[in-house]
């Protein structure tokens, strides 16, 4: 997608573009036989994703840290769509204990799982470590989702086997993956304050989201599993993610206002990848404005993805001791 398409909303090969909304890209799709988990579904594009999936008939589980906001979002969805099926579960992705508790709770509900949308995230935080001793961007944006996905994978596989319906996993990344640290992932000094940059730490976590999606896609293809995994850049949107950098957001928006999206536009690519029939069998790809794009060079490095997978497994094991 060129700058002209981004600025004008001119549709790409998919028929959709930056101006398309989540409702538009899912128009006419019946998702009543699907169950979806949306992390960070209490606000911003996560809430809009949850709303539109429920509007199309899916049973939606909003997994969120702020239960009050999550329940408000549920009520907002039910007010406009009384037939919507929406549940709310507690999830703090910076805590591996919380991730495991969410999976235990979801498993006890005895529901199928067709769609997992790894949407939640933090951005431009001051340096801090999670309760597991992991740098906060990496812990929340990548490692929590890495564990969550792995723990839910067998449920997704069993659902696919029973129903024959393709499972779909969507990782929300960002164009910020191009602005990670020079080495891509700081494997040797991930948690060090020395050399820490909030912008590059965020970029690192978003690079990890794409590498994770691509490596998981590769593994599932090797198994012959009917589950796709893709990553998306939702675009520049004013959401609570900017709470640590309101001044930066204001300056950026002043000079790049033609590229910014509203929330319904920001949720479009996620909903497109999750539901659209034209994406059947498409996996290991990166999407921008509902069209496939080539991510940065590091994001396409298979060996880096494999190393990140092994590194993430070790972090999870060490944190659970």
Catalytic residue list contains 127: no
∠ CA 104-109-112, nearest 5°, is 100
Helices and strands, counts by H and E, the chain: 12, 10
Q: 132, 96 in Cβ contact below 8 A? A: yes
DSSP per-residue letters across 30-88? --TT-EEEEETTTSHHHHHHHHHHHHTT-EEEEEES-HHHHHHHHHHHHHH-TT-EEEE
Q: 67, 74 in Cβ contact below 8 A? A: no
DSSP symbol at 14:
T
**Phi and psi for 245 in degrees, rounded to 5?**
-145, 50
How far is the CA of 129 from the CAs of 126, 132, 139, 177, 191, in angstroms?
Answer: 10, 8, 8, 21, 7
Q: 274, 231 in Cβ contact below 8 A? A: no
Q: CA 65 to CA 94: how far, in whole Å?
A: 10
Q: 250, 190 in Cβ contact below 8 A? A: no
- Residues 6 or more apart in contact with residue 303 via CB below 8 angstroms: none
Q: Which of 196, 202, 257, 286 is catalytic?
A: 196
Just list the catalytic residues: 196
């Amino acid at each position: 997608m060129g700058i002209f398409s981004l600025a004008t909303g001119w549709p790409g090969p998919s028929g959709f573009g930056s101006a398309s909304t989540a409702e538009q890209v899912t128009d006419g799709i019946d998702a009543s036989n699907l169950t979806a988990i949306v992390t960070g579904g209490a606000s911003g594009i996560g809430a809009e994703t949850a709303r539109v999936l429920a509007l199309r008939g899916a049973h939606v589980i909003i997994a969120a840290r702020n239960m009050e906001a999550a329940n408000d979002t549920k009520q907002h969805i039910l007010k406009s769509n009384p037939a919507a099926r929406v549940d709310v579960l507690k999830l703090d992705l910076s805590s591996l204990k919380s991730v495991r508790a969410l999976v235990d709770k979801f498993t006890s509900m005895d529901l199928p799982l067709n769609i997992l949308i790894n949407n939640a995230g933090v951005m431009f935080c001051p340096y801090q470590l999670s309760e597991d001793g992991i740098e906060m961007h990496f812990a929340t944006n990548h490692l929590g989702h890495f564990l969550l996905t792995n723990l839910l994978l067998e449920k997704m596989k069993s659902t696919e086997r029973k129903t024959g319906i393709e499972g779909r996993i969507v990782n929300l990344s960002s164009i910020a993956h191009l602005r990670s640290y020079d080495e891509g992932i700081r494997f040797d000094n991930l948690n060090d304050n020395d050399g820490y940059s909030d912008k590059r730490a965020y970029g690192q976590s978003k690079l990890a989201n794409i590498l994770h999606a691509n490596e998981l896609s590769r593994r599932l293809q090797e198994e012959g599993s009917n589950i796709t995994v893709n990553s998306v850049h939702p675009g520049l949107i004013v959401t609570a993610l900017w709470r640590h950098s309101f001044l930066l957001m204001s300056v950026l928006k002043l000079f790049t206002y033609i590229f910014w999206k509203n929330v319904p536009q920001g949720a479009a690519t996620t909903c497109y990848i999750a539901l659209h029939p034209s994406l059947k069998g498409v996996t290991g790809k990166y999407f921008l404005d509902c069209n496939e794009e080539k991510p940065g060079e590091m994001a396409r490095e298979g060996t880096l993805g494999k190393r990140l997978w092994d590194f993430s497994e070790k972090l999870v094991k060490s944190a659970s001791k």
